Amino acid sequence: MALRFVVIGLGEDGRSRVDDVRDVAAGMSPRLPNVHWNCVWSTAQQPPELPVPRRGRDAAWLDLQLPPGATRWAMFNFHPGLSTPFHHTATLDYDIVLDGEVTLGLEQGEMLLRAGDSVVIPGVMHSWSTGSKACVLSVMYCGLAAPPET
């Protein structure tokens, strides 16, 4: 299975976009006998410091009620034909597509994600949509300080 890692960020105009796409397997190195690994993303503090500026609370704000530094792990089954509105949260999200495929919508385009793909979403605008196939998504949320009111 291909292991693709997608990093989401902001363009110069402040809109969400794909910043980087990496082949996780290509970056693997020996860790223990018969074990290779690749640290695809890490943070050094709790709550994590984000590498991108954040929007304030607005009509696209989705409050997940996750305090700064708290974590939540969720599994989603997106049915065929799903389309969510654009939204942003006070979370750093680590998402892995376990089965099927889903389109990650960003302000500067979209990206089709398939089983084995992973993405980090640092509290920026995004949406989800599925075509004729369902998708199972595993999401690890890390709570951030809520953005100010706008």
For residue 150, the model assigns a pLDDT of 66
Kindly report, residue by residue over 115-133, the tens digit of the pLDDT.
999 999 999 999 999 999 9
Q: What is the pLDDT of residue 1?
A: 60
Domains defined for the chain, CATH in brackets:
4-24+60-143 (2.60.120.10)
User: How many Å apart are CA 119 and CA 103, to the nearest integer?
Assistant: 12
Q: Which tokens belong to 143?
A: 């709570």
Q: Residues of the chain whose pLDDT is less than 70?
A: 1-2, 150
- Beta-bridged to residue 126, according to DSSP, are 87
Q: What is the pLDDT of residue 52?
A: 76
Q: Quote the pLDDT of residue 39.
A: 85
Alpha-carbon distances, residue 70 vs 101, 110, 149 (angstroms): 28, 29, 21
CB 130 within 8 A of CB 103: yes
